[in-house]
Each structure stands twice: as C-alpha cells, then as structure tokens.
Amino acid sequence: MGDVQKKIENEVVQLKGTQKEYQKAISTRQQLDAQLNENQVVKDELNLLSEDRKIYKAIGPALIKMEIIEAKQNVAKRIDYINKEIKRFDEIILNLEKKQDGHRETLHKLQQDKMKTSLKA
C-alpha cells in the first residue's frame, strides 16, 4: 500500500508543477493580448495621420524624429511577432491542459487502485 501512496504523492507533485506552468503560460498569453491591443491602437492612429506629419519616438529621455512609413513598418513587425508568440503560447497552453488531464487520470486510477487494495485488506 505504501508504494501506491508514494505514486499518488508523486503524481500530485507533478500535477501541481504542471498547474504552475499553466498559470504562468496563461499570464504570459494575457500580456501578449494586451500588447497586441496596444499595438493595434498605435497602428490605427498612425493610419489616421497624413504622410507629411512629423512623428517622434521616445528613446530613453530623448524624442527622435521618425518617418511615418518607418513607424508603420515597425508596428506591423511588432504585431506580426506578437501574433506568432500568441500562437506559440496557445500551443503551450493546449499541451499543458493535456498534460494536466493525463496527471488527473493517472491520479484517479491510482486512487482507485488504493481503494481496491484497502478493500481487499
């Protein structure tokens, strides 16, 4: 009976570790969503400006003049990168959900085995 109990405890530890990873991935995914929304707003604002308008980018304490075309390209690249990261984290989250389900199933089976063993004794 001690062997089954150790397996259960080990599975619980693994499940908790996977749950921590899952929560961290969810948090990162939410941050990426916020960044995507911010960049979409910037893109929309840049699209409202005419080509002859002057824009500046804050780099540290200084404002550096920038061409609108260059700014639009930078924002588009950032949006593309963030979308790729979102897809990557969606896959990570999906895999972690499957991993949690696997731990739960294993834990359930081990608990059933423990119950059967205790009933036989």
What residue ranges define each of the domains in the chain, with the CATH number in brackets?
Answer: 2-120 (1.10.287.370)
pTM score above 0.85: no
pLDDT value, residue 1: 52
User: How many helices (H) and strands (E) in the chain?
Assistant: 2, 2
pLDDT value, residue 51: 85
Strand pairing report for 62-66 and 55-59 = antiparallel
Task: List, in sequence order, every residue forming a beta bridge with 59; answer none if it has no partner.
Answer: 62
- Kindly state the average pLDDT of the residues 47-54: 89
pLDDT value, residue 97: 97
The H or E element containing residue 56 is: strand 55-59
What pLDDT, in 10s, does the model give residues 27-47?
999 999 999 999 999 999 999
The H or E element containing residue 103 is: helix 68-120
Cα separation, 5 vs 111, in Å, equals 9
